[in-house]
């Protein structure tokens, strides 16, 4: 690790520490993600394979991976592109409400293109969320592959950020490309509505919503401004069954070939349910620069797997909707037949801090953006890559 001079810590998670560093050989700033020394040699081999796979990704909307090695103490580390800019999470918090439709669709198209490249390599990002999207002068960049998965690799850990976690993951089904598409759908919904598609402020409430509740309708002014086809694409992204979701490549095509949208002004705060992400452990220092942790795939599944989540879905509507529809979520009883795929992994995480803090101690805590960032609730310092 002599080649890389560590300058300052950017993020800390249950599994890694990310540093701003300087490459003494090439003379450039980089991000160094140092993972805990794994006792199992197989873990070391897997991490190296994941780093190699991620390093082969070359895409204008994906942060790059430069190097891999081990410290003197045997801990694996990955050297990544250091991305300067503002995260999408910070952008949405700063706006105080929804983004303009044209901006939201442009970002979604770029993310769809990035994910299509990821999936074509047999990888799954597995933690797509606003805090893992950097907005630069060249467009959006997907960062932090810190808990991503190589297709076909398997693990017992349930990883990801609850607000963006696909229903099948909660049931213990391995992740696939459709897992990322679902998360992208949640991100797009939040960009358009200024809120998550469901109510909930704790991990348990959000996991229940993913499995049981249909997304709330978009605000009427936003729906009126959407080009034809967007609402349907968004609905399909948020399908409970992974096999019913479109591919990332299809989404990128849809969002880049849309007719011009009408620019509308949505009053900040009009979508009052701006819910900050709840992450499973870790903390982050935010300072305006985000280290792009673009690697390390904790393998969880075959890309393209389309296991069906057979849970019935209940609809919910915000209190501002007509009284003819229920004003709150309706729960339904789980079906008696067991789900297909592996047994469901139990999720045991304490209720989240009302201010948006991490649900410490949850499974797979740590990597979820800047080492388990609080997605916009960082303490004045803005850094993000983590793990």
In the numeric block, which tokens belong to residue 343?
Answer: 């047994």
**What Cα–Cα distance (Å) separates residue 61 from each residue in 222, 230, 242, 366?**
26, 21, 24, 24
Phi first, then psi: what are they for 186, rounded to 5°? -65, -40
Helix (H, G, I), strand (E, B) or coil at 124: strand
Phi first, then psi: what are they for 266, rounded to 5°? -105, 120
Catalytic one of 127, 144, 180, 309: 127
CA distance 212 to 312: 6
Q: Measured in whole angstroms, how far is the alpha carbon of residue 36 from the centre of its chain? A: 22
Which residue shows structure tokens 């300067």?
Answer: 84
127 is catalytic: yes
**Residue 240 known to bind ligand:** no
DSSP string, 331-386: --PPPSSPPSSSPPPP---PPPPTTS---TT-TT-S-SSSSS--TT-SSS------
For the chain, report the end-to-end CA distance as a whole number of angstroms. Answer: 19
CA distance 191 to 164: 13
Host H or E run for residue 17: strand 16-23
- If phi over 0 gives left and psi between -120 and 50 gives alpha, with beta otherwise, what is residue 143? beta
**Cα dihedral 277, 198, 111, 364 in deg (nearest 10):** 40
How is the beta sheet containing 139-142 ordered, strand by strand? 86-87, 133-136, 139-142
Tally of CB atoms within 10 A around 6 = 13
Annotated binding-site members: 33
Q: Binding site for ATP, residues?
A: 33
Catalytic residues: 127
């Amino acid at each position: 690790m002599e080649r890389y001079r560590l300058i300052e810590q950017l993020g800390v998670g249950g599994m890694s520490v990310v540093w701003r560093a300087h490459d003494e050989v090439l003379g450039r700033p980089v991000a160094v993600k140092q993972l805990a020394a794994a006792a199992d040699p197989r873990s070391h081999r897997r991490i190296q394979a994941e780093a190699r796979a991620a390093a082969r990704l070359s895409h204008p909307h994906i942060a790059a991976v430069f190097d891999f090695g081990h410290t003197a103490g045997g801990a694996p580390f990955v050297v990544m592109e250091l991305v300067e800019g503002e995260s999408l999470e910070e952008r949405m918090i700063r706006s105080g409400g929804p983004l303009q439709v044209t901006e939201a669709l442009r970002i979604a198209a770029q993310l769809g293109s990035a994910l299509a490249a990821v999936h074509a390599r047999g990888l799954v990002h597995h933690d797509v969320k606003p805090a893992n999207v950097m907005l630069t002068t060249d467009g959006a960049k997907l960062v932090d592959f810190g808990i991503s998965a190589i297709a076909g690799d398997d693990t017992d850990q349930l990883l990801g950020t609850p607000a963006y976690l696909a229903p099948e993951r909660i049931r213990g089904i391995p992740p696939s490309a459709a897992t990322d598409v679902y998360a992208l759908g949640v991100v797009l919904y939040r960009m358009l509505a200024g809120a998550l598609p469901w109510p909930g402020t704790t991990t348990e409430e959000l996991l229940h919503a993913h499995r049981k509740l249909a997304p709330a309708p978009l605000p009427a002014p936003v729906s009126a401004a959407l080009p034809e086809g967007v609402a349907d694409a968004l609905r399909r992204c948020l399908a409970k069954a992974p096999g019913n979701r479109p591919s990332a490549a299809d989404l990128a095509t849809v969002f880049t070939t849309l007719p011009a949208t009408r620019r509308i002004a949505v009053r900040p705060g009009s979508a009052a349910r701006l819910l900050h992400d709840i992450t499973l452990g870790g903390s982050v220092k935010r300072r305006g620069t985000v280290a792009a942790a673009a690697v390390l795939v904790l393998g969880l599944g075959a890309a393209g797997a389309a296991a069906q989540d057979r849970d019935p879905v209940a609809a919910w509507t915000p209190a501002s909707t007509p009284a003819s529809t229920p004003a709150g979520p309706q729960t339904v009883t789980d079906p008696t037949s067991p789900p297909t795929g592996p047994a469901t992994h139990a999720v045991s995480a304490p209720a989240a801090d009302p201010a948006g803090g991490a649900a410490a101690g949850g499974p797979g805590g740590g990597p979820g953006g800047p080492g388990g960032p609080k997605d916009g609730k960082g303490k004045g310092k803005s850094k993000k890559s983590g793990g």
